[in-house]
Structure 1
Amino acid sequence: MNTLAIVILNYNGLQFLADFLPTVLANAEGHPVYVADSASTDGSVAFVRQTFPSVRLIELASNEGYAGGYNLALERVRTDYGGATYYVLLNSDIEVTPGWLSPVLGVMEANPAIAACQPKIRSYAERRFFEHAGAAGGFVDWLGYVFCRGRIFATFEADAGQYNDNRRVFWATGACLFVRAEVFHQTGGFDASFFAHMEEIDWCWRIQRLGHEVWTCGESTVYHVGGGTLPKSNPHKTFLNYRNSLFMLYKNWPADGWLWGKLLLRLVLDGLSSLLFMKVGQWRDVGAIIRAHFAFYGHLPQLRRQRNELIARQTAKTDLYPHSIVWQYFGKGRKTFREVM
């Protein structure tokens, strides 16, 4: 069994593979690199096979999104290649840096309770600034809204070393996610019904309920292009983000009797957020929010079963951010992590 397996899930990302895979291979520190291809139609498989013969290629039969795709890919790594103690789930549009692996592995090996960890995620285009997907570690507020050290909504902090520490957080980004393989498989991996977006946050929430920890490592940095598969303005991304946020909240909210009150508040706030899309004429995004809520209602029987199973298995409490990040940001004008925590 290998200590670490670097696994890149690819779907029609040939150009990203051409741009970033050489740097990954140059900084793999002897660990095997896998490309799991989700039935791409852009020649990605042939390109990897011909250009990077050292890469272990896993061909999936269809595109099951980030969640289902990684579930299948990591199972193949385990069954076909002997597995690894740790996996790195690495987006194809990530530029890694020299020495990016060892600090994160050191954090995880020093504390067996840690099941997930991430490096700092900075923007590939604006290299001084943190990137949207994860920044320096994430949190969830009491209504299920997510934010990060270094990024709250549309405010991105420059990285001036303020988050160079290693510390516990609520969620680690799926853009560059280190996971303890045993925990990933024991928990069934990601919820495949999410398809893409927020599945890693749902998984981080679930594993903490079982007593595991999630950390961020400020001694390692990578750069993320972002929006490689779905651009930020894509209505389908809007749909997935709003729907999956409701999925996650319903499944994981503590059994304290306040669930439907929270969901009602979310309905109101999501409705208000659609006004921002209306203001700039993004009507398809407004429709995506409406569809997301109806999709949530349609999945309630499945979500109820999942919720009951998680409550029955829970062994530890989780600590959500006790305030509304929406009110902190828009109401009180607190734009940075240090202002809200």
Structure 2
Amino acid sequence: MDTLAIVILNYNGKPFLAKFLPAVLATADGHPVYVADSASSDDSVPFLKSTFPTVRVIELPRNEGYAGGYNAALEHIRTHYGGATYYVLPNSDIEVTPGWLSPVLALLEANPNIAACQPKIRSYNERDLFEHAGAAGGFVDWLGYVFCRGRVFATFERDHGQYNDNQQVFWATGACLFVKATVFHQTGGFDASFFAHMEEIDWCWRIQRLGYEVWACGESTVYHVGGGTLHKSNPHKTFLNYRNSLYMLYKNWPANGWLWPKILFRLVMDGLSSLLFMREKQWRDVWAIIRAHFAFYGALPKLHQQRRLLKQQQTTEVKLYPKSIVWQYFAEGKKTFNQM
């Protein structure tokens, strides 16, 4: 069994593979590199096989998004290649740096209770800024809104070493996620119904309910282009973010935590946020929010079953950030993590 497997999920991402895969191979430290292709319609697979013969290519039969794609890929690695102790899941649009693996592996091996970890994520295009997808580790507030060390809503901090420590966090980003293989398979991996977006936050929440920890490693840095598969301006991204946020909350919210009042309040807040899209005449995003709400209602029977099962399995109470990040950011003017 390998100590670490580097697994990149690809969907029509040949330009990113050509640009970023050489650095992954150069810094792999002898660990195997896999590319799991989600039935790309470009020539990613023949390009990989001809240009990077040392890469182990997994050809998936269909595109099941980040969640289903990685579930299938990691199960394939376990059954066909003997698995690994840890997996790292860098997006295809991640630029790695020399020595990016060793600090995270050292942290994981020093604390067996850590089941998920991430490096610092900085912007590929604005090199000294933290990037939206994870920054230096994420948290969830008492209404279910997510934020990060280094990024709160649309405020991105410059990295001047303020988050160079190794810190326990609530969630680690799927842009470059290290996971403990036994825990990933024990929990069934990501919730495939999410398809993409917030599945890693849901998974981090679930594993903490089982007593595991999530950390950010400030000694490792990678750079993220962002929106490599689904651009932030795409209304389908809006749909997935709003729907999956509600999925995650319903499944994981504490039994004694006033679930429905908070769900209803979130629905109102989501409605208010649609006014911002209306102001910009982004009608497809408004419709995406409406569709997300109805998708949530339709999924309630399944979500309720998942909620009951997770409650039965839970061994540890999970603490959320006790304040409202929306109030602190917009009303109190606290724009950075360290101000909160």
TM-score normalised by structure 1 residue count: 0.99
The alpha carbon displacement at 1:292 in A equals: 0.3
The alpha carbon displacement at 1:267 in A equals: 0.8
C-alpha separation in 2, matches of 1:25 and 1:131? 23
Is 1:72 aligned to 2:72, yes or no? yes
Is 1:128 aligned to 2:128, yes or no? yes
C-alpha separation in 2, matches of 1:257 and 1:100? 39
Is 1:190 aligned to 2:193, yes or no? no
The alpha carbon displacement at 1:64 in A equals: 0.3
The corresponding residue for 2:27 is 27
The corresponding residue for 1:337 is 337
The corresponding residue for 2:88 is 88
Is 1:295 aligned to 2:310, yes or no? no
C-alpha separation in 2, matches of 1:122 and 1:77? 29
Is 1:170 aligned to 2:170, yes or no? yes
Does the residue aligned with 1:104 lie in a helix, a strand or coil?
helix
C-alpha separation in 2, matches of 1:250 and 1:257? 11
Structure 1 residues 175 and 111: CA distance shift in structure 2, 3 A: same
Is 1:205 aligned to 2:205, yes or no? yes
Letter in 1 for 2:28: A
C-alpha separation in 1, matches of 2:336 and 2:127? 18
C-alpha separation in 1, matches of 2:200 and 2:190? 7
Deviations 1:206-250 (A, max 9, x none): 000000000000000000000001111110000000000000000
Deviations 1:146-197 (A, max 9, x none): 0000000100000000000001000000000000000000000000000000
Letter in 1 for 2:171: W
The corresponding residue for 2:284 is 284
After the TM superposition, which of the residue ranges 327-336 and 10-19 deviates more from structure 2?
A: 327-336
The alpha carbon displacement at 1:257 in A equals: 5.2
Does the residue aligned with 1:222 lie in a helix, a strand or coil?
strand
The corresponding residue for 2:144 is 144
After the TM superposition, which of the residue ranges 331-340 and 93-102 deviates more from structure 2?
A: 331-340
Write the mapping of 1:43-58 to structure 2, written as runs, cut at 5 A. Answer: 43-58=43-58
The gaps in structure 1 that reach 5 residues or longer are none
Does the residue aligned with 1:58 lie in a helix, a strand or coil?
strand
The gaps in structure 2 that reach 5 residues or longer are none
C-alpha separation in 2, matches of 1:302 and 1:144? 20
Letter in 2 for 1:97: T
Letter in 1 for 2:269: L
The corresponding residue for 2:37 is 37
C-alpha separation in 1, matches of 2:323 and 2:246? 18
C-alpha separation in 1, matches of 2:2 and 2:32? 8
C-alpha separation in 2, matches of 1:199 and 1:226? 17
C-alpha separation in 1, matches of 2:292 and 2:332? 28
The corresponding residue for 2:259 is 259
Deviations 1:287-311 (A, max 9, x none): 1011000000000000000000000
Letter in 2 for 1:218: G
Letter in 1 for 2:100: W
C-alpha separation in 2, matches of 1:280 and 1:338? 31
C-alpha separation in 1, matches of 2:257 and 2:138? 26
The corresponding residue for 1:273 is 273
Does the residue aligned with 2:112 lie in a helix, a strand or coil?
coil
Does the residue aligned with 1:288 lie in a helix, a strand or coil?
helix
C-alpha separation in 1, matches of 2:308 and 2:30? 43
TM-score normalised by structure 2 residue count: 0.99
Letter in 1 for 2:130: F
The corresponding residue for 2:161 is 161
For this pair of structures, how many residues does the alignment match? 340
The alpha carbon displacement at 1:280 in A equals: 1.1
Does the residue aligned with 2:217 lie in a helix, a strand or coil?
strand
Structure 1 residues 118 and 257: CA distance shift in structure 2, 3 A: closer
The corresponding residue for 1:319 is 319
Does the residue aligned with 2:242 lie in a helix, a strand or coil?
helix
Does the residue aligned with 1:59 lie in a helix, a strand or coil?
strand
Deviations 1:70-118 (A, max 9, x none): 0000000101111000000110000000000000000100000000000
C-alpha separation in 2, matches of 1:120 and 1:68? 25
Letter in 2 for 1:237: K
Is 1:307 aligned to 2:307, yes or no? yes
